Amino acid sequence: MSAHILDTSDPRKRRDAGGEMGRPYNRFPSTLRALFALLAFFVYTLTPLTASARRAPAPEGEDAVSAFIVKETGRPELLRSKEIDKLLSPASLTKIMTCMIAIESGRMDDVVSIPLEATQVEPTRAGFLPGEQIRLRDLVKAAMVNSSNDAAFAIAIHLGGSVEAFVSSMNVRARALGMGHTVFTNPAGYDRGFYAGNRTTARDLMMLTERAIRYPEFNAIAKLDRVVFSELATGKRYSLRTHNKLMDRYPYTVGIKTGYTSMAGPCLIARALKDGKDMLIVMLNARTDRWSLASTMFDRGFGAETGRTVQVAGIGADAPLRIATSTPALPASMVLAERTRALEALRRKVESHRGQSAVAEIHGMSMNGQSEAKSSIKIKNLEQPKSAVAAKSRVKASRTSKVALKAAKKESARKRQLAKAQQRKIKSKVALKSAKKSGSAKVAHKSRNKERQAIRTARKGAAKRSTADAKSGKKRSRKEELSLSKKSERSPNG
């Protein structure tokens, strides 16, 4: 009997309604909690992995750059390129045009008084104060090496008279260089707010850079990693460093300019010299390590590794570019047919320019394999008119740029003459005011008049005194006569 007695006080040993032994208390709920905890752990740990697996990989290398050009200077073809005509913001690469115009002006020794407007720009500044006296050459160094916006605006106001007038000359110069897609709105590279619309292309920037490196002074400034100069009036010392990290990472680089805004992204124009080759890189909106990518591009360029090339339609740095994508090798018959069509097109074109002598020269070309070298030589000779046309276009462009520079110089000279005239007027007004205040001539004249009046008064006083003395003498003599006559009458007779 005792064996069947249950301890009902212990709830874990109670029987259920069917007479069977109940499950141990709270064992099943604890298992569920453990399962839910494991499930939650796996859900929270695996969800980020699946999301990251779905996320597209970030672009790297050249794919992370919106537009770029790799080119050897002095050669018409581009070694590598991407989106060379895409309109993008150049950021501080704009300062290359600003500094080139300053060098072309021939006024690098000018002393510039820093205007107030130039000191109110942001964010990169040298820290100039209004009224400080800085040489134009030092301002160009600050703008090129340190990318100082206050220096760029001071250059613009000094050379153009105002920011708007200088920006107009920048756009005129861009058109003269053949930069047909470029629009400048300010001399520093701002691209938002009041200065929105500052746009260019990689092709146009390559044209600008190849023009700028023709000036030895530009090259001497562009390769600096630090500039030191002093304010002329007080001797205040400025020491500015470059933002171009490529100069520390790639041993063959020689400058030229960096740029960045939130809209433009990281930008770079770099130059490197190695083994007799002179390479240029233009890079816009590089959403990657631009320094490493530029080093890789230079190594590929110097190693003659070519990808997609771009042929130049014409001779010279200012000639427009025409894309010519690489094509697979063609059979000899197709090459001969293509060459025949090209020669026929060239014959028609030359016929309109050079006359029958050039046509006879082309007709004499042989199409077989033995005369291919002679044909290529004659084709090169026939391309001389193209070079002549390109030279004429460059001469016209240089003339227009000279005319624009002369107009700007005349305008600045006129403004200087007006300023001198105003200074002379101010000096004359000051002199008149000082003369009025001193009144030296009038005072002297009044003193002389007073002296004359005093002399006259003295003379009149002397005359009055003399007449008074004479009258008093007469009166005394009369009195004496009267007294004598009275005495004689009073005295007794003899």
Residues annotated as part of the active site: 92, 95, 147
Closest CA to 200 of 175, 230, 219, 235: 175
Query: How far apart, in whole angstroms, are the C-alpha atoms of residue 264 and residue 97?
Result: 17
CA–CA distances in Å: residue 296 to residues 225, 244, 403:
21, 16, 42
User: Residue 281 forms beta bridges with which residues?
Assistant: 70, 270
**Residue holding tokens 């047909």?**
180
Residue 306 class from Cβ within 10 Å (0-12 exposed, 13-18 middle, 19+ buried)?
A: middle
* Three-state SS annotation for the chain: CHHHCCCCCCHHHCECCCCCECCCCCHHHHHHHHHHHHHHHHHHHHHHHHHHHHCCCCCCHHHHEEEEEEEECCCCCEEEEECCCCCECCHHHHHHHHHHHHHHCCCCCCEEECCHHHHHCCCCCCCCCCCCEEEHHHHHHHHHHCCCHHHHHHHHHHHHCCHHHHHHHHHHHHHHHCCCCCECCCCCCCCCHHHCCCEECHHHHHHHHHHHCCCHHHHHHHCCCEEEEECCCCCCEEEEECCCCHHHHCCCEEEEEEEEECCCEEEEEEEEEECCEEEEEEEEEECCCHHHHHHHHHHHHHCCCCCCCEEECCCCCCCCEEECCCCCCCCHHHHHHHHHHHHHHHHHHHHHHHCHHHHHHHHCCCCCHHHHHHHHHHHHHHCHHHHHHHHHHHHHHHHHHHHHHHHHHHHHHHHHHHHHHHHHHHHHHHHHHHHHHHCHHHHHHHHHHHHHHHHHHHHHHHHHHHHHHHHHHHHHHHHHHHHHHHHHHHCCCC
Strand 237-241 with 226-230, pairing: antiparallel
Task: State which amino acid sits at residue 10.
Answer: D
